[in-house]
Amino acid sequence: MRLEEEMRYIYAAIQHLQHDRSTLDIAEELGVSRFMVGRMVKRARDEGLIEVVPRISEPIDTELSTALASRYGLQSAVVCIPVAEGEAHARTAIAGVAGRLITELIDEDSIIGLGPGRTIVEMCSRMTDVPTCDLVQLTGAVAPEPTVDAQLIVQLSRIAKGRVFPLHAPFIATDAESARVITIQPGVKNALQRMDLLTTAVLTVGGWPRSSQLASALADMGELEPLLKLGVAAELGTTLLDSEGREISVLSDRMIGITTEQLSRVPLKIALGGGEGKRHAVLAALKSGLVDILVTDIHTARAALDER
C-alpha cells in the first residue's frame, strides 16, 4: 500500500473510531461509497495502521477476567491489577473495584448480605452512592474488634437508606448447645431468617490458615490443627471447603451465620479474594459452585487458570 493510500485509510479509521463520524459522512468527504469506508477502516485495523487501545476507568485485566469466567463457568470475573506487590495492595485494588461493581449491581429494594473481612470493611468505606436497599450481616463476629463489621454495615445502610439486620453474635460458639441458644434470640433469629430473602450475597474468601480470621480464632481456641488435618483450605461465610471445593461440615452446628444451603439459593453470590495467602482458597471457592462473580487479582487469576 502506498504511503498516500495508507494515510487515507488511517484518516478514515480515526474519523470513524475516534471521532465517531458516520461512514456515510466520511464517504461523502472522500468521494467513495460508505461500504468502501467500512473496508478502509477494517483494513487499517487488520494491517496495524492504527491501534485500538482499550480504556477502562478501573485497573482491570479484561482478557484474564474473560478467561477466568469461561474456565470456571462464572457469570463474571473481575481481575484487578494492584499498584504494587503484596497482600495489602491486592486487597485495596479488590475493595475499590468491588465497591463500584456492587453499587452498579444493586437495584432499588434489593436485600444485600455482607460477610466479614478486611476487604469488605475497606469496600464499605469506599461506597458513597448506593441505591435504597436492605443490608444483612451474614456471619457473627470473629475480628479482634467484633463491632467493626457491624458498624460499617450500619454506616453503609445510612447511605443506602434501607433497613439493616446486624448479627449480634459470635462467628463460632463454644458448642452446639450454645449456638442453639444464641440463634433463638430475637435479633439474631430475625437476621438469620432474613438470609432466606437475599438477592445478593457478598463474601470474602478466607484462606486457611494464614489469611482467615476464623482460622486465627480457632487457633486461639486450640482447634485449628484437627481441621487442617481434615483438609480445610478455605471458608466462604460459614461454609468450610477443602482444596477441591467440597464442604467440610464438622463445625456447621456451631457456626452462626448464613448456611451453605441458604447461600446456594441466593440469586447472585459475589466472592472477593486475592493475595498470596488466599490463592489456594480462591481456587477452592471456584470449584465449590458457590460463586457467581469473583473479584480477584492478576496473580490469583493466573494461578487459577494454571490449575489442571
Average pLDDT, integer, range 84-89: 90
150 vs 38, 39, 257, CA distance in Å? 56, 59, 13
Average pLDDT, integer, range 136-162: 75
Distance CA 189, CA 181 (A): 10
271's enclosing H/E stretch is strand 268-272
Domain boundaries, the chain: 3-46, 62-306
Q: For residue 31, count CB atoms less than 10 angstroms from its CB and return exposed for 0-12, middle for 13-18, buried for 19 or more.
A: exposed
- pLDDT value of residue 17: 87
296's enclosing H/E stretch is strand 293-297
Distance CA 12, CA 41 (A): 6
- pLDDT value of residue 153: 73
pLDDT above 80 for 269:
yes
195 vs 121, 158, 260, CA distance in Å? 20, 20, 11
| Each residue's pLDDT tens digit, 10-26 | 889 988 988 889 999 99
Distance CA 106, CA 112 (A): 8
| Each residue's pLDDT tens digit, 208-236 | 999 999 999 999 999 999 999 999 999 99
- pLDDT value of residue 307: 86
The model's pTM is 0.82
Q: What is the DSSP string of 112-139?
A: EEE--SHHHHHHHHH-----SEEEEE-B
DSSP state letter for 281 = H
Q: Which residues pair with 201 in a beta bridge?
A: 113, 269
Averaged confidence pLDDT in the chain: 90
- pLDDT value of residue 144: 56
114 vs 10, 43, 102, 209, 271, CA distance in Å? 50, 49, 11, 22, 10
pLDDT above 80 for 83:
yes
| Each residue's pLDDT tens digit, 103-132 | 888 888 899 999 988 899 889 888 888 888
Of all residues in the chain, the percent with pLDDT exceeding 90 is: 68
User: Residue 161: CB partners within 8 Å, gap ≥ 6?
Assistant: 132
Please, are residues 98 and 123 in contact by the beta-carbon 8 Å criterion?
yes
CATH 3.65.10.10 is held by the domain 62-306: no
Question: Which stretch of 75-84, 150-159, 174-183 has the lowest confidence by average pLDDT?
Answer: 150-159
R_g over Cα of the chain: 24
Which amino acid is residue 79, in one-letter code?
V
